[in-house]
Amino acid sequence: MSKTLRLILGDQLNSNHSWYNNVNDSVTYVMMEIRSETDYAKHHIQKVIGIFSAMRYFKYDLIGNNHKVIYIYLNDNNNLNTFEKNIKNLISLHNFTHFEYQLPDEYRVDLDLKNLCKTISISNAVVDSEHFFTTRNELGDFFEGKKMYLMESFYRAMRKKHNVMMDGNKPLTGQWNYDGENREKLPKNHKLILPIVFNNDVSLIYEEIIKATIETIGTVDANNFVWPINRLQSLELLDFFAEHCLQLFGSYQDAMTPNEWSLYHSRISFSMNVKMISPQEVIERCIEEWRKRPNEIEFNQLEGFVRQIIGWREYMRGIYWSKMPEFASMNFFNNQEKLPDWFWTGKTKMNCMKDAINQSLQFAYAHHIQRLMITGNFALLAGIHPDEIDAWYLGIYIDAFEWVEITNTRGMSQFADGGIVGTKPYVSSASYIDKMSHYCGSCFYKKALKTGEKSCPFNSLYWNFYDRNEAKLSKNPRIGMMYNVWRKMKPEDKTAMLEQADYYLKNINEL
């Protein structure tokens, strides 16, 4: 008699997958909490809890729908703590004759499972995860022969292919992209909406993680876990965003203000990245809300959000599968420095860094501009090795899985890919941070000072970055103007700036 074992990974919690359309007594699903997944990076405690909690809810749903499930818990005596060992053990114990899995999103897991299939004596097959708008190879095929992969052209092609906000072959409203309208600073005294949070009791899982002595970062209130851990809560979070936040999302998506961690962001990336909800239903829900309230939700708010989902998210996944594994070792600037100690504690005198890091430690979350233009910006200016940045971002954020993390950090944030993802390095001095945030006014450092005891480190490090990398960047048409400004500075001013940057870099742990 044929007996099939199907593996479900912790980020494959898609209840609408065709696997589950029929109940079959000859099919058993296996899910496992294993050390090879908790230990390949030092993860935020909330990330480990969130994934395990969501996995356990998914298990209950499968059993409730009469599917056969083997669930291997973290501290089970029979847990061999790798996919390969557990799968081989189950095949032996239960006499399975066939093994199946869904395409993993991470290169290392993909490699592990391919190698596993080469070493088992039973037949095996792999199926799509049925989550993304694109296949793994679609972006690579789209840009075949091109040196630069321009996201905008891919985004427009996705809109056309999937008929998203289209009027025939043209975009609704006649305009593809409203990014220029989506860069507003929060007005002073602006009253933000209170974010929806969940009060999940995850204390049991927390205790199991502590018992297993898994090394984690960050903090958690295990009696009031704020993240969604099942599909129902994920849909509730999506509804809240569509009904209460979408109308101001676009305008303030780049804004930053102290002690406000959510703003008008959806915070559904964790739910999507473990597949409790799909990008298609996310987009459809928001378009539906816009159609219901066109006078309240301007089109630029909707377009800015949809572009993140069908454009940026799919684009980054496509980059990942077209450029791995080489992408993981790219270091265009040959940066070699280590992360400052305060990246792990938030204990710095720079308000913007302190707020972004402490928020990340407390909530396992920061929005894209905090990641790109605060922590990422500083790391690039300071010459931190991309491996250090990857490990930090992959560990600290609840939504960070390598396929989306490494392309954003090593590509977009650190320009370590030399321009595959971005057309220029995303660096700034204090002026941009002040323009988009309320951090600078009460900071120990002074945003207007370029040198001296209280000069903002971003200022001198900014010009030091351009000076240090002139040979590699001076011919880039998007930043030629900065080199013109640099060359026109008085020699003594340039020297003072570089000396200030050198002092800060040598004393980086004291900033």
Summarised one tens digit per residue, pLDDT across range 315-332 is 999 999 999 999 999 999
Query: For residues 359 and 296, what is the distance between their CA atoms, to the nearest angstrom?
Result: 31
Go through the chain and tell me how many residues it has. 511
Domain 138-220+228-323: top CATH class:
mainly alpha
Query: What is the secondary structure of 90-144 as a DSSP string?
Result: HHHHHT--EEEEEPPSSHHHHHHHHHHHHH-SSEEEEE--S-SSS-TTHHHHHTT
Mean pLDDT of 1-25: 95
Give the amino acid at 310.
I
**How would you classify residue 268: left for phi > 0, otherwise alpha for psi between -120 and 50, otherwise beta?**
alpha
Higher pLDDT, 33 or 254: 33
Domain 341-510 fold is DNA Cyclobutane Dipyrimidine Photolyase, subunit A; domain 3 (1.10.579)
Say which amino acid occupies 176: W
Q: How far apart are CA 134 and CA 162, in angstroms?
A: 10
Q: What is the pLDDT of residues 76-134, one digit of tens each?
A: 999 999 999 999 999 999 999 999 999 999 999 999 999 999 999 899 999 999 999 99
Q: For 225, phi and psi rounded to 5 degrees?
A: -75, 120
**What gap in Å lies between CA 169 and CA 163, rounded to an integer?**
9
3-state helix, strand, coil in the chain (%, to 5): 50, 10, 40
CA pair distance 369, 367, nearest whole angstrom: 6
pLDDT band (50, 70, 90) for residue 411: very high
Q: Is the pLDDT of residue 485 over 80?
A: yes
Contacts of 141 (CB under 8 A, 6+ apart): none
Please tell me the predicted confidence (pLDDT) of residue 291.
94
CA angle 166, 167, 168 (to 5 degrees): 100
* pLDDT, position 146: 79
Q: Two tokens at 131?
A: 């989550």
Classify residue 60 as left (phi > 0), alpha (psi -120 to 50) or beta: alpha
Q: How many CA atoms lie within 13 A of 241 on its CB side?
A: 27
Q: Where are the alpha helices (DSSP H) in 166-313?
A: 203-211, 231-240, 246-252, 269-273, 279-292, 299-306
Q: How confident is the model at residue 480 (pLDDT cuts 50, 70, 90)?
A: confident
Q: How confident is the model at residue 481 (pLDDT cuts 50, 70, 90)?
A: confident
pLDDT bracket for residue 396 (50, 70, 90): very high
Confidence at residue 204, expressed as pLDDT on a 0 to 100 scale: 96
Q: What percent of the chain has pLDDT over 90?
A: 85
| Cα(363)–Cα(218) distance, integer angstroms | 8
Q: Tell me, what's the pLDDT at 327? A: 95
What does the pLDDT look like over 209-243, one tens digit per residue?
Answer: 999 999 999 999 999 999 999 999 999 999 999 99
Among 241, 226, 331, CA closest to 289: 241
- Tell me what the pLDDT averaged over the chain comes to: 94
pLDDT of residue 422: 85
Helix (H) or strand (E) holding 71: strand 68-72
Query: Tokens in use for 45?
Result: 């405690």
Give the pLDDT confidence score for residue 37 in this predicted structure: 94
Q: Would you tell me which CATH number, out of the four given (2.40.30.10, 3.40.47.10, 3.40.50.150, 3.40.50.620), belongs to the domain 4-127?
A: 3.40.50.620
Burial letters for 257-274: b for 16+ Cβ neighbours within 10 Å, e otherwise? bbeebbbbbbbbbbbbbb
Are 426 and 420 within 8 A, CB to CB?
no
Residue 244 has pLDDT above 90, yes or no: yes
pLDDT band at 185; cut points 50, 70, 90: confident
Domain spans of the chain, in order of start: 4-127, 138-220+228-323, 341-510
Q: What is the pLDDT of residue 160?
A: 95
Q: Poorest-confidence range of 125-139, 143-157, 281-295, 447-461?
A: 143-157
Rg, C-alpha atoms of the chain: 24
- pLDDT of 460 reads 96
* Residue 362: count of CB within 10 angstroms of its CB: 17
pLDDT for residue 474: 86
User: Is the separation of the CB atoms in 454 and 419 below 8 Å?
Assistant: no
**Three-class SS state of 264:** coil
Per cent of the chain over pLDDT 70 is: 100
